[in-house]
Structure formats: structure tokens, C-alpha cells
Amino acid sequence: MRVGFVANEVGIGLWRNLSMTVSVVLVTAVSLTFFGAGLLFQRQVDLLKDYWYDRVQVSMFLCGAESDAASCATGAATDQQKQTIEADLGGPELAPYVEQWFYESQQEAYDRFTEQFADSAIVENVTVEQLPESYRIRLTDPSQTDVVVAYFAGRAGVEEVDDQRDLLDGLFRFLDGARWTAWFIAGFLLLASVLLVWTTIRLAAFNRRRETGIMRLVGASKFFIQLPFMLEGIVAACLGAVIATVLLLTGERLLVRGYLAERVRVADYVGPADVFAIAPWMFAVGIVLAAVASLLSLQRYLKV
């Protein structure tokens, strides 16, 4: 009896206030979509980090005959300089940081270059002597590249220490920015949806003051009187979360799988499973905000 009665009251409430209900659902849907998109950006960054950080390395380019860096004043790197570098790479000081390193000669660099740019005319203009010798260093913890870069930078015979992570960090900063932008927008919209829920519940309480007045007088509990109103807000928020989930799934299908994954095959992309994984958070945020907004509104506008 109780369940049926409450469900009936909730249905009547939502229906009587249909335009307000629809606006709550839509605003909640859009705000949760932005919130969810932010979560997806974060997961994408994590995926990219997992993928790329395993592959990044520090490249240490040695001085060639024509290098004009300050550390190359004495000309091409000598065998003794190379031996010192190799001793340091294998030494105890860098042992915690360096997982693996190897030497790349000018010939190896040329072979790799010609392979990489096989289709390009640039290969014809490059000679073996123009490409520097280098050490390629893979780190135990990819986030510690700074230590290795600082250790070798400016040393005699070393022209440049190149941290590939710098390139990726630019990309990650962009994605982080996108995530915070999405959350910033979500924040505003969630505020709007909280205020809408507040107003909707206030209106609903006003529309049904006759019913609630009688409920009070015949001794219905505070919880029982407030429950239908709170459920109205929560049901609307849940509908919004459902729509947000559908929007994100559609977005993932069209933008990520339909476009990015086809054209830019650099890494794994977020998929439907990720959307479903973040969906509970969207429901949780929607429900909690709606419940709090309803409750505060009821405290203020529904005398019990």
C-alpha cells in the first residue's frame, strides 16, 4: 500500500508539474554530460600515459664535428667522454632511475632515419655524418626524466639531452585543460540544476499544500510527507543521468570510434566500457544534488 501510494504521488507530482520536470531533466542531463565528459578526459589521459610513458625515453645526443652548442666547443665527442657517460649510466648513482640504455651510432641513426622517412625526399639530402651519435635511455619510472636530464645536461661532449616527455606533457596539459573546462561548465550547470530542483520542489510543495496540510493533521510522519517530493527530484535527476549516459555513448561512438580511432591511431581510446564505468558517478552526483536541493527546499517551504 505504502509503496504504491508513494509511487502514485510521485507520478502525479511529476506529471502536474511537467514543464518544470522536463527542465530539471534536461538541465541535469546536460550538466552531467559535461561532468561525465570531464571524467572521460581524465581516463583518456590515464590511457595515454600508460601507453606512452612505457615508450618514452631520454635521448642524449653527442656532439658532432659541426655542433655549435657551448658544451661542444672541443669538437666531436671523444671516446673518453663516451666512456665516462657509459660508466655513469651504469653507475650506482643513476641505478635507481635507469632501467635500460643503449648506444646508437651515426650509421644506426641514419638507418633508422631512412626507414622512418622512407617515402620522403628529405632522405636524399641527409648524410650519415649529419646525424649525431646518441644514447637512448629508458627509465624505471618515466616521471623521473628530470633527474637524468639534469645529470647530463651541459656536460662536455653532450650536445643536447632531450626529454620526450616534454612533448607528451604538452598534450596532457591540453587534455587536462579540456577536463577542467568541462568540469567548470558542469559546475555552473549543476548549480543551475540544483536551483531548478529547489524551485520545482518549492512549487510542488505549494501546489500540494492542501494534501500535505491534511497529512500533517492526521499524523503522517515527516519522512512520509517529504518522501514523495524528494523522490520527484531524484527521479528527475536519474532521468537526466540516463540521458547523459546516452549522450556520452553517442559521443564516444561518433567522435572517438567513428573519427579519432579511424584517423589518429596513436594509442588506445576510451570506449563504451569507460562510459559505463563513469555512469555510476553521474547518477551519484545527480541523485545526491537533487536529494540535497529537495531537502533544503522542503525544510524551507514545507511545514511539517
By CB under 8 A, name the binding residues for other proteins: 1-2, 5, 210-211, 213-222, 224-225
CB 302, min distance to other proteins, A = 14
- Using the minimum distance from each CB to other proteins, give the nearer residue, 7 or 65: 7
Least CB distance to other proteins at residue 271 (A): 47
Amino acid (one-letter) located at 122:
I
Q: How far is the CB of 218 from other proteins (least distance, A)?
A: 4
Across-strand partners of 40?
none
Smallest separation, CB 237 to other proteins (Å) = 25
CB of 8 or CB of 120, closer to other proteins: 8
Question: Whose Cβ is closer to other proteins: residue 214's or residue 255's?
Answer: 214
Nearer to other proteins, 2 or 265 (CB): 2
**What is the closest distance, in whole angstroms, from the C-beta atom of residue 8 to other proteins in the complex?**
10
The residue (of 231 and 270) whose beta carbon lies closer to other proteins is 231
CB nearer to other proteins: pick between 16 and 55: 16
Smaller CB separation from other proteins, 4 or 92: 4
Task: Give the per-residue SS3 of 11-53.
Answer: HHHHHHCHHHHHHHHHHHHHHHHHHHHHHHHHHHHHHHHHHHH
- Report in angstroms how near the CB of residue 221 gets to other proteins at its nearest: 5
Interacting residues of 245 by C-beta distance below 8 A, sequence separation 6+: 36, 275, 276, 279, 282
Task: Convert the chain into a string of H (helix), E (strand) and C (coil).
Answer: CHHHHHHHHHHHHHHHCHHHHHHHHHHHHHHHHHHHHHHHHHHHHHHHHHHHHCCCCEEEEECCCCCCCHHHCCCCCCHHHHHHHHHHHHCCCCCCCEEEEEEECHHHHHHHHHHHCCCCHHHHHCCHHHCCCEEEEEECCHHHHHHHHHHHCCCCCEEEEEECHHHHHHHHHHHHHHHHHHHHHHHHHHHHHHHHHHHHHHHHHHHCHHHHHHHHHCCCCHHHHHHHHHHHHHHHHHHHHHHHHHHHHHHHHHHHHHHHHHHCCCCCCCCHHHHHHHHHHHHHHHHHHHHHHHHHHHHHHCCC
- Closer CB to other proteins, 108 or 211, in the complex: 211
